[in-house]
Amino acid sequence: MNDTYRVAIIGGGIVGVSTAYHLAEQGETNVVVLERGELTSGSTWHAAGNLPHFAGSFNMMKLHRYSKKLYQELEARHGDIGMHLTGSLRLAQNRDRMDEFERIAAMARQNGTEMAVMGVDEIRTRWPWLEVHDLQGGLWDLLDGHVDPTSVTNAMAADARAAGVTIRRNAPVLAISRADSGRWELETPAGTVSAEVIMNAAGFRAPEIAAMAGYTIPVSSMEHQYLVTEEIPELAARDDEIPMIRDPDISYYLRQERKGVIIGPYEHDGVPWASGGVPPEFGQELLPPDLDRIADYVADAMERVPMSASAGIKTIINGPITYTPDGLPLIGPVAGIGNCFLNCGSSFGITQGGGSGLFGAQWILAGETSLDMWELDPRRFGAWADSDWVAARCKDIYDHEYAHSYPHEWADRPAGRPVRKTPAFDRHEAAGAVFSTAFGWERPAFFAADGAEQEDHYSFRRADWQASVAKECEAVREAAGLLDLSGFAKFDVSGPGALAMLESIGANRMPGRIGGIVLTHALTSTGGVLSEFSVTRMGEEDFYLVSAAAAELHDLDILQAAMPDDGSVKIDNITTGWGSFVVAGPRSRDILAKLTDTDLSNEAFGWLTGREIPVSGMPVRALRVNYVGELGWELHHRIEDQLALYDALYEAGAEFGLVPFGLRAMDSLRLEKMYRGWRTDLSSEYSLVEAGMERFVRFDKNADFKGRAALQAQVEQGAPHRLVCLEIDAGEADCISSEPVVDDKGEIIGTTTSGGFAPHLGKSLAIAYLRTDLANEGRLVSVDILGERRPAQVHIDALYDPGNERLRA
């Protein structure tokens, strides 16, 4: 028997099998799936098999859509796999829910998914058996439905086997080690399997596999129950199947199962399972049912669909579902470990199984994905995600499974917080900060002004916190503001090989002189944006790199992958040891001048330069750059100096009107300046040329860099899209992202990637990608915002200070 493979996938649930299927489809059949028991014997076999398109994000919706299409193809090839495309109706009991539905329906329109928001009258007419008295409307998804999870897995397994993939059942992986050659060795009862690449698809046992391979993952399991009723006479009398009902404001799904129904609640106080580890002997069994826990939800469901109330309960299924702290699976590389991938943490693994396999396979074979899958990248969590935080967040996600997907809400919800605070946290809190999190860091989102409550209020429309944000924006534009961005990822890259290494990573040329700062981007092979680094040349061979907080592990991987093995480069991740304040605004020079003897004039300390200077006696890396478009400095400092620096800045700043500002003000100010956001406006799906960032590409430099050929081709032949700024005649709602941009005939010509209200200009703005031929200054277009088609004007340049005069001030 061959025990040597290119790829070993651990786990034969829908996700592992789908990955094997897609590897084979993409031409790699030197693959083994090692399954502990029988295929699907983890969570897959007992899943309800529901297949919603609904998702809080555009790309997750695409992933869901892909899975559904794949399953339809499998059914066409293999015969019945239990596909029932019944359509589904999500119910809205409040206006916010209707807003959410409008937002999701607009996303759906852009990816060919047929969804429609409808009013109560239409619902009553189409589905007279539904109780509608308390509804405001609903969201109809024409192609929602369900599939038999075991049949669909077996169909993919059959295709994978036929293509040459090996699937071994009753082959538990007992231990994992790495040979000197770098190959992985997986111990099973039948002997050792050797593989170049491993993927952990072990479902609720994924943390065990992680421990064997020497890493941890933020995964925790929750109990989930659904009940199946006996036959319902009204359903027995019908030839067709009723659509699935989801009542998110109560929190359950209900669908037809044979001639009865399934009712599956997500309780608001869910029950974690096996927090201390899955018992070794736990196999294919179910967990003991607990009807009391779900009784109220079931009663609600039966009131909603009265015909179901007469039916007895046939069975209750209670099984474990894996959760991650943000409810999305972990698909991609394990930080810092080569040839080691995850495809686990799926709480909707049947809905996502097809797409999870597709992107899992792309990661293994291409090292990148065809859609921007950052939201699934395992490196969005770090070692700071300790087990208490993970458990609290996973339970919180389950408890809020059907909550409105408001902007900002996930990062704000209190469960498990705080895990990462800067020393200035208490100072910010005393100043009125309302915090939000990124990569675990507590960061001021805004500072409650004029006696406003120190808490966030969520909405799909313009919310009350805008008043506080407007004050902060005004202060930054007119005087000065201080923003704590200590979470920035920060790296010192040094040594004789540092310059050449950095030239090879990004599209831009490194600063030629000491003190120079450049922005450079690591790209995909198609020129899409992976990372955005600001690089300051601190010395001949010393470079200081700063990138997005959430990108710390992702970007460290990129740096380490490029490191030559001759010892000529040293990389220090100094993220936690260094803090970072932004002091920006026309009075920022006056403030800083009180704390340092360094000449801060334009001649001595120009825009886009940086160096270490003493500030109030402390060594500070002062970088004359900022993301809000004003005169200002980023002040990177030793974390132990943070409070002293904070106090010194405020003492010096009092006479100049220095105020604290938060991330939401920053976001509004950067929209005015048309600064692109990492992983929103800059993503791996659009090239740096499409993003209008050609000035950061140096085709004439000697070093080659990934994506260069693709960018060159776009420069020569034209790129399909162009990033623009939209000035929108909005109502009381602004763009968030993924709103369709349409022409005067209603044809979709682009999509937004971020947006919001900019109080300084008093305008509603968005960043969008449009078809290049339509991306001209002044063009009139429309944007679909919460069901309304709002007029908008295209701008190629920033609306605020396009010539950067303020930055050079």
Ligand X SMILES: Cc1cc2nc3c(=O)[nH]c(=O)nc-3n(C[C@H](O)[C@H](O)[C@H](O)COP(=O)(O)OP(=O)(O)OC[C@H]3O[C@@H](n4cnc5c(N)ncnc54)[C@H](O)[C@@H]3O)c2cc1C
Site for ligand X in 604-663 (CB under 6 A): none
Q: Is 49 in the site for ligand X (CB under 6 A)?
A: yes
Binding-site member from 19, 44, 616, 668 for ligand X (CB under 6 A): 44
Site for ligand X in 212-231 (CB under 6 A): 224, 226
Nearer to ligand X, 205 or 490 (CB): 205
Stretch that binds ligand X, among 6-14, 117-125, 236-244, 565-573 (CB under 6 A): 6-14
Q: Nearest 5°: CA angle at 347, between 751 and 255?
A: 90
What DSSP character marks residue 414? Answer: -
Q: What is the torsional sign of CA 421, 662, 672, 110? A: positive
Give the up-direction half-sphere exposure of residue 539: CA atoms within 13 A in the CB hemisphere.
9
Nearer to ligand X, 121 or 285 (CB): 285
Residue in this structure with the two tokens 């050797």, named with its chain if needed: 194
Nearer to ligand X, 353 or 759 (CB): 353
Q: How far is the CB of 17 from ligand X (least distance, A)?
A: 7
Secondary-structure percent of the chain, ordered helix, strand, coil, rounded to 5: 30, 30, 40
Nearer to ligand X, 270 or 632 (CB): 270
Nearer to ligand X, 44 or 220 (CB): 44
Contact characters 745-784, ligand X, x per CB under 6 A: ----------------------------------------
Binding-site member from 14, 70, 548, 741 for ligand X (CB under 6 A): 14
Site for ligand X in 436-455 (CB under 6 A): none
Nearer to ligand X, 46 or 404 (CB): 46
* Length of the chain (residues): 809
CA distances from 619 to 421, 612, 635, 696, 732 (A): 22, 6, 10, 30, 46
Stretch that binds ligand X, among 33-41, 81-89, 121-129, 239-247 (CB under 6 A): 33-41
Q: Is 43 in the site for ligand X (CB under 6 A)?
A: yes
Q: How far is the CB of 186 from ligand X (least distance, A)?
A: 8
Letter for the amino acid at 330? L
Q: How far is the CB of 231 from ligand X (least distance, A)?
A: 21
Q: How far is the CB of 118 from ligand X (least distance, A)?
A: 24
Nearer to ligand X, 12 or 355 (CB): 12
For 516, the 3-state DSSP assignment is strand
Stretch that binds ligand X, among 11-19, 53-61, 267-275, 657-665 (CB under 6 A): 11-19
Residue in this structure with the two tokens 């993220």, named with its chain if needed: 575
- CA 659 to CA 653: how far, in whole Å? 8
Q: What tokens were used for 723?
A: 């990033």
Strand partners, 316: 227
Binding-site member from 23, 31, 36, 575 for ligand X (CB under 6 A): 36
- CA 393 to CA 419: how far, in whole Å? 11
Strand partners, 618: 615
Stretch that binds ligand X, among 32-40, 80-88, 134-142, 381-389 (CB under 6 A): 32-40
Give the up-direction half-sphere exposure of residue 573: CA atoms within 13 A in the CB hemisphere.
17
- CA 254 to CA 232: how far, in whole Å? 13
| Short-list 145, 319, 128, CA closest to 246 | 145
Q: How far is the CB of 476 from ligand X (least distance, A)?
A: 45
Nearer to ligand X, 346 or 526 (CB): 346
CA dihedral 589, 624, 760, 803 (to 10 degrees): 110
Q: Is 46 in the site for ligand X (CB under 6 A)?
A: yes
| Short-list 357, 364, 361, CA closest to 338 | 364
**Residue pair 653/591 in contact by the 8 Å Cβ criterion:** yes
CA distances from 106 to 599, 680, 683, 747 (A): 53, 18, 21, 13
Q: Is 50 in the site for ligand X (CB under 6 A)?
A: yes
Q: Is 319 in the site for ligand X (CB under 6 A)?
A: yes
Nearer to ligand X, 283 or 746 (CB): 283
- CA 361 to CA 578: how far, in whole Å? 37
- CA 101 to CA 123: how far, in whole Å? 15
Q: Is 152 in the site for ligand X (CB under 6 A)?
A: no
Nearer to ligand X, 43 or 422 (CB): 43
Q: How far is the CB of 711 from ligand X (least distance, A)?
A: 37
Nearer to ligand X, 155 or 622 (CB): 155
Nearer to ligand X, 97 or 205 (CB): 205
Nearer to ligand X, 50 or 642 (CB): 50
Q: How far is the CB of 322 from ligand X (least distance, A)?
A: 7
Identify the helix (H) or strand (E) that includes residue 263.
strand 260-265
Nearer to ligand X, 53 or 722 (CB): 53
Give the up-direction half-sphere exposure of residue 5: CA atoms within 13 A in the CB hemisphere.
29
Please confirm whether the linkage preceding 248 is cis (ω < 30° from 0): no
Binding-site member from 116, 271, 313, 317 for ligand X (CB under 6 A): 317
Q: How far is the CB of 11 from ligand X (least distance, A)?
A: 3
Phi, psi of 778 (to 5 degrees): 85, -10
Nearer to ligand X, 43 or 754 (CB): 43
Q: How far is the CB of 611 from ligand X (least distance, A)?
A: 50
Q: How far is the CB of 145 from ligand X (least distance, A)?
A: 11
- CA 292 to CA 225: how far, in whole Å? 11
Letter for the amino acid at 609? T
Contacts with ligand X by CB under 6 A: the residue count is 41
Binding-site member from 8, 23, 34, 433 for ligand X (CB under 6 A): 34
Q: What tokens were used for 114?
A: 């047929």
Other residues' Cβ atoms within 10 Å of the Cβ of residue 744? 8
Binding-site member from 9, 20, 24, 47 for ligand X (CB under 6 A): 47
Nearer to ligand X, 63 or 173 (CB): 173
Binding-site member from 145, 172, 333, 750 for ligand X (CB under 6 A): 172
Site for ligand X in 174-203 (CB under 6 A): 201-203
Q: Nearest 5°: CA angle at 27, between 24 and 31?
A: 50
Q: How far is the CB of 157 from ligand X (least distance, A)?
A: 12
Tell me the Cα Rg of the chain. 27
Site for ligand X in 342-371 (CB under 6 A): 344, 346-351
Q: Is 35 in the site for ligand X (CB under 6 A)?
A: yes
For 710, the 3-state DSSP assignment is helix
Nearer to ligand X, 243 or 585 (CB): 243
Q: Is 37 in the site for ligand X (CB under 6 A)?
A: yes
Site for ligand X in 225-284 (CB under 6 A): 226
Q: Is 173 in the site for ligand X (CB under 6 A)?
A: yes
Q: Is 10 in the site for ligand X (CB under 6 A)?
A: yes
Close Cβ partners of 151 (under 8 Å, ≥ 6 residues apart): 80, 81, 82
Q: What tokens were used for 362?
A: 């792309």
**Residue pair 304/129 in contact by the 8 Å Cβ criterion:** no
Stretch that binds ligand X, among 313-321, 357-365, 699-707, 757-765 (CB under 6 A): 313-321
Q: How far is the CB of 422 from ligand X (least distance, A)?
A: 36
- CA 594 to CA 162: how far, in whole Å? 74
For 395, the 3-state DSSP assignment is helix
Binding-site member from 9, 20, 24, 48 for ligand X (CB under 6 A): 48
For 382, the 3-state DSSP assignment is coil
CA distances from 337 to 175, 458, 636 (A): 17, 39, 29
Footprint of ligand X (CB under 6 A):
10-16, 34-37, 41-44, 46-50, 172-173, 201-205, 209, 224, 226, 317, 319-321, 344, 346-351
